[in-house]
Structure formats: structure tokens, C-alpha cells
Amino acid sequence: MSNPWEEIALSDYENHMSLESVKQLQAMNSIMKKQFGDYPVRTAMVLGIAGGNGLEHVSPDKFEKVYGVDINEEYLKAVRERYKDLAGILECLHIDLISECGKLPHSELVIANLLIEYIGYEVFQKAVKRIDPKYVSCVIQINTGDAQWVSDSPYLHAFDRLDEVHCQMEENALIASMKDTGYRIILNESDSLPNGKALQRIDFIKE
């Protein structure tokens, strides 16, 4: 059976994420500006790049190579079209992280935003070991109170199958799994969202 992310239209995903009641696309863009800028690296890899939100913050003066990885080829086509100005720097890779980790190249920085929820800690550990970055910057969604993990919206049914692959994230479990992989935490900060949710950015450095 196909991965649910291969069936979700990019327009549904981005329209949902940018709604005033969700605001994750906007918040993620601000976070990614910092993720790209915070560390002295020449190469970066975005796992689960979707439509390329945040790539406008890639400085050609800083980066030699930025990899965009996704399981959805249509998303990658959109990224290539939207960011033609990054030609020669941006390289899109159509990879299923669960079964094709061996195809991942090395990168000094890994950015994984709202991704680990859909592949699990063990697959993420495997990917990190393969890429062997110095820095790893993750964003996970934290739900508070009775908040549902997918916010109500007109696009809600586009995400019906995500229950098949979604895992609820726990901050301490992620930190522990990264410690087991040889990385220690260097940053932990939260951005509040509507509907009782927050985006938790947790960064790591290789020991």
C-alpha cells in the first residue's frame, strides 16, 4: 500500500497549514530562517521538504549544496519549479526514508520539521546515522489539552489516512533517541500556535 503522503495534494497541505486557525506554514517559515542561519555549515538537508517552504532563506553565499528529500515526487517537482534561482545548489531527492535510507548523501546539517511523527524514532535514527551531520535541527508538534493532532479545517479529509503512519511525539523520547545516536541537545525552544498547539524546536550536535 502506498504511503499516505504520496496521495495528499500539495495545495491541500499548504492551504490547510496556512489557515489563520492553523498558522503552521508561517511559523515554520520563521523557524527555518533560523535553522538555515544558526550554524556554520556549507551543506544542509531538509527531510520532508514538501513544497519547499523556507527555502527562500537559503543564502547562495553560504551554502554550496542543499538537499530536499521527500517521498512525494509531485512535491519535489513543485520545489524545483518554485526555486529555480537555487539551481546548482538545490538538489531534490525522491526517497522513501523508511525503505531507502541508504540513498541519502552526507550533509553537515539535517533539518527535520514535522517529519519524525510520520517515520518514528528508529527510522529517524537510521537516517541520521547514514547522513552523519554535525548538527540536527528538529521541529515536533506538541499538543496541549484536548487539541487534536490535525486541526479542523475545510481540508481535513485530505489527511484521513495519516492515522496509519502518525506517531505522537514526546520531547524526552526524541532527546533520548538522539543521545543513543551520539548527539547531545544544544537548543530547545517553543513557538505557540492556535488551537492549543506548539511547535517545539530541538537542536542537537554530534558528540
- Residues 174 and 179: their CA atoms lie apart, in Å, by 9
**Considering only CA atoms, which of 81, 72, 133 is closest in space to residue 108?**
133
Strand partners for 32: none
Give the SS3 label for residue 52.
coil
Contact 158, 183 (CB under 8 A): no
CB atoms within 10 A of CB 196: 14
Domain boundaries, given as residue ranges, for the chain? 4-206
Specify the DSSP element, H or E, that contains 119. Answer: helix 116-131
What gap in Å lies between CA 33 and CA 182, rounded to an integer? 26
Phi, psi dihedrals of residue 72, rounded to the nearest 5°? -100, 110
Question: Measuring CA to CA, how many Å separate 165 from each of 11, 33, 116, 120, 152?
Answer: 21, 28, 10, 9, 19
Amino acid in position 83: Y
Report the pLDDT value the prediction gives residue 149, as an integer from 0 to 100.
46
Walk along the chain (207 residues) and give the pLDDT tens digit of each residue.
Answer: 688 888 888 988 888 888 776 788 899 999 999 999 999 999 999 999 999 999 999 999 999 999 999 999 999 999 999 999 999 999 999 999 999 999 999 999 999 999 999 999 999 999 999 999 999 999 998 876 554 545 555 546 567 777 777 777 889 999 999 999 999 999 999 998 877 788 999 999 999
Question: 178-189 pLDDT, tens per residue?
Answer: 999 999 999 999
- CATH T-level assignment (fold) for domain 4-206: Rossmann fold (3.40.50)
DSSP reduced 3-state for 136: strand
Closest CA to 93 of 72, 113, 112, 109: 72
Query: 131-185, pLDDT tens digit by residue?
Result: 999 999 999 988 765 545 455 555 465 677 777 777 778 899 999 999 999 999 9
Q: Are strands 43-47 and 109-113 parallel, antiparallel or unpaired?
A: parallel
pTM listed for this prediction = 0.92
